Amino acid sequence: MVLRLAVIGFGNVGQEFARLLLSKQQWLWRSRNLVVEVAALATRTRGSLLSEKGLDLERALREIRSRGTLVCYGPEVAALPPLEIIEQCNADVMIELTPLNIESGQPALSHVQAALEIGMNVVTANKGPVAHAYDSLKALADSRGVHFRFEGTVMDGAPVFSLVEKTLPGCEVEAVAGVLNSTCNFILTEMGRGRSMAEALAEAQRRGVAESDPSLDIDGWDAASKITALANVLLGARSTPQRVERKGIRDITSEAIKEALAEGKTIKLVARAEWAEGIVKTSVQPELIGPDSPFWSVDGTSSALTLRTDLIGELTIIETNPTLAQTAYAIFSDVLMIAEAVRKGTT
Amino acid sequence: MVLRLAVIGFGNVGQEFARLLLSKQQWLWRSRNLVVEVAALATRTRGSLLSEKGLDLERALREIRSRGTLVCYGPEVAALPPLEIIEQCNADVMIELTPLNIESGQPALSHVQAALEIGMNVVTANKGPVAHAYDSLKALADSRGVHFRFEGTVMDGAPVFSLVEKTLPGCEVEAVAGVLNSTCNFILTEMGRGRSMAEALAEAQRRGVAESDPSLDIDGWDAASKITALANVLLGARSTPQRVERKGIRDITSEAIKEALAEGKTIKLVARAEWAEGIVKTSVQPELIGPDSPFWSVDGTSSALTLRTDLIGELTIIETNPTLAQTAYAIFSDVLMIAEAVRKGTT
């Protein structure tokens, strides 16, 4: 079986995914009887590629690394915007990895919508579509008989959505709570070790954990998008990040951290979603965490999520020190699940 | 679709499963188009039932509760040993829930073997078969085209085996480590609060956490069985509980606990399995745990497992304060997965 991908966005995650795909080609063929080809690679400012036969990923990676652009790749270069690439590439699965505009969910939202419209399966590591329009996108996917998967949107490679979908049949998720933003968690951890927020942020930026403009993390927008994605998918909310009761870590002082430590506690940015009075309430705010909490050991760039369910009570999943490789794996696992479902003819 | 079960063993777990099944009948029909009937109920000393039409579970529960036996249930009473019940019941799935002999894995092992031999799917919450003969039982199940599932054997209802099987495609598990025995963890937690081991054990027995003969827990046999099950299934070991390097908590003194606390640590019984020098090494022993470990917050009857994998690094799953309901759910989820697979004609 041949599965053709259109990869939209070729930044760090896209490149890591390409490397993972290259390293797993033989395994895919041997153990899954599967050939995964990349039919298209689209970027906003660094060129796009389109090929009937499947692109040479090693060459694409080399071009991006050495020249910073794909425009010298060869005759497969296509001067088309991503939306037209999606429409023309004839792929089986569109992989959406563009940078996110958290307010609107664009351009990912349009890309996902366009792919689903023409009956293409979609995998995204981009929170936008799930946080802004999960309900309508899922309905669209169902109406076209295709798959819409997004494991990489929350907690990188740790299975969160798959965990509920595949391993907890019949279980209702009543509430979720998580430490979901690695930049904030890294900063708070470093502050607990005596650094100032400015020092901790600089260190996070030096390590590539934080963006040069860290406000989306610091002000809780990233966590708000993630908890909205979780609320929409697992709790049936129809919400957006703007509706999250949101307080970031900007105002957390070294004194507050010291006071918490003196009480034997620590401060973490916790995102919550819960059914209450007929609606799903979502919030992001700094909380005092004690040593009896499963979040206690979740330091640095690690993340964690607790699910409260009707049939098995509380379950927590912790991802320790993830890297880009974990996000790439999330996409890879979604692609494998789609391949398996397509092969079995199930949705 | 009708799925007929043979429930072998009707102790606490079996009864809890029966209650869960009763409470979910309508849901099963509405959301899965599934009728789950119990065709047989077998116990070693409290009578057995066999029915073509499906037993009245409420009546069976009432009989066991009020009389302590099933022998007054009615014409469905069958004076047959469990093995013959399995052979005659014509069920689709055998649910093995008998008490475990950890040395031999019996009688569960024979029950599972007999059911698989005649092409019956098997679900077990009994560690024996998986810890003693996973490899041959899995091969037997495959040769008969049936399913062998055992989610309830480790960490009650928390998905452990399903997590790897269903949500981590292509990921190799390289090592596992867990806090897997609730009796030991409860005792060590209580000792950390100043109780003696004798007091802590008595409290565990009073709460029904520990058996009247707690030696299988205290001496690490239960944890050894669980780590063997994990090693056999997730790491491809072909081991038995006897081969685990095993040290229980019998010799842990209140002084040792105090010393650990003085260092800012705690003692937990940790089970480990890991590939090393071409074999899978398994061990169970008390370890010093610091606040940076995901096991730090795992107190009382809670349990936890960390998987180390090639593609997504370390992932930890924590189950908080499980009850019998969680084990019942594990069986229920295995039955649902079998029903779905049978319906789709996949193995």
8 Å CB contact of A326 and B313? yes
Q: Would the pLDDT of A346 be above 80?
A: no
Domain boundaries, chain B: 2-157+325-344, 167-321
Question: In chain A, which residue's Cα lies nearest the Cα of B29?
Answer: A170
Please report the pLDDT score of residue A347 as a whole number: 55
CATH no. for B2-157+325-344 = 3.40.50.720
Residue for token digits 């084990």?
B327
What amino acid is encoded at A71 in this protein? V
Q: Would the pLDDT of A157 be above 70?
A: yes
Please report the pLDDT score of residue B345 as a whole number: 80
8 Å CB contact of B20 and A311? yes
Residues A341-344: contacts with CB under 8 Å, at least 24 apart: A341/A147, A342/A1, A342/A3, A342/A92, A342/A121, A342/A147, A343/A1, A344/B344, A344/B346
Catalytic residue among B24, B127, B166, B226: B226
How distant is the Cα of B242 from the closest Cα of chain A, in angstroms?
Answer: 31
Please report the pLDDT score of residue B33 as a whole number: 95
Structure tokens at A198: 């400015």
pLDDT digits (tens, 9 = 90+) for B240-258: 999 999 999 999 999 999 9
| N-to-C CA span, chain A | 17
Q: A203, A267 in Cβ contact below 8 A?
A: no
> Which residues does chain A have within 8 Å of residue B160's beta carbon, measured at their own beta carbons?
none
Nearest to B35 by CA among B336, B344, B341: B336
Classify residue B151 by its DSSP letter.
G
What amino acid is encoded at B45 in this protein? T
Q: B72, B60 in Cβ contact below 8 A?
A: no
The partner residue sitting opposite B162, judged by closest CB among A24, A166, A321, is: A166
> Which residues does chain A have within 8 Å of residue B315's beta carbon, measured at their own beta carbons?
158, 317-320
Sign of CA dihedral A342, B159, A296, A279: positive
Helices (H) and strands (E) in chain B, counts: 12, 12
- Supply the pTM of this predicted model: 0.95
Please report the pLDDT score of residue B220 as a whole number: 97
pLDDT digits (tens, 9 = 90+) for A77-106: 999 999 999 999 999 999 999 988 888 899
pLDDT digits (tens, 9 = 90+) for B117-142: 999 999 999 999 999 999 999 999 99
Structure tokens at B257: 């606990």
Please count the CA atoms within 13 angstroms of the CA of B240 that sit on its side-chain side.
Answer: 11
The CA–CA distances, whole Å, from B92 to A36, B47, B58 equal 38, 22, 21
Please report the pLDDT score of residue A108 as a whole number: 96
Which residues touch B248 (CB under 8 Å, ≥6 apart)?
A: B184, B217, B218, B219, B220, B221, B269, B284
The CA–CA distances, whole Å, from A52 to A38, A91, A118, A123, A291 equal 9, 9, 18, 21, 56
What percent of chain A is predicted at pLDDT more than 70?
Answer: 99
How distant is the Cα of A161 from the closest Cα of chain B, in angstroms?
Answer: 9
Nearest to A190 by CA among A257, A129, A133: A257
Q: Would the pLDDT of A156 be above 70?
A: yes
Give me the residues of chain B with pLDDT under 70, please.
Answer: 346-347
Per-residue pLDDT averaged across A271-296, rounded? Answer: 96
Q: How far apart are CA B112 and CA B95, in angstroms?
A: 9
- Is residue A247 flagged as an active site residue? no
Q: Which CATH number fits domain B167-321: 2.40.50.140, 3.30.360.10, 3.90.1200.10, 3.30.2080.10?
A: 3.30.360.10
The partner residue sitting opposite A158, judged by closest CB among B292, B297, B312, is: B312
Please report the pLDDT score of residue B100 as a whole number: 83
> Which residues does chain B have within 8 Å of residue A166's beta carbon, measured at their own beta carbons?
162, 166-167
Quote the Cα angle for A34-A40-A45, to 5°. 145
The partner residue sitting opposite B326, judged by closest CB among A292, A313, A317, is: A313
Quickly list H helices, A249-323: 254-262
- Count of beta carbons in the 10 Å neighbourhood of residue A68: 11
Nearest to A94 by CA among A335, A342, A339: A335
Q: Cα Rg for chain A, rounded, in angstroms?
A: 20
ipTM rounded to 2 decimals = 0.95
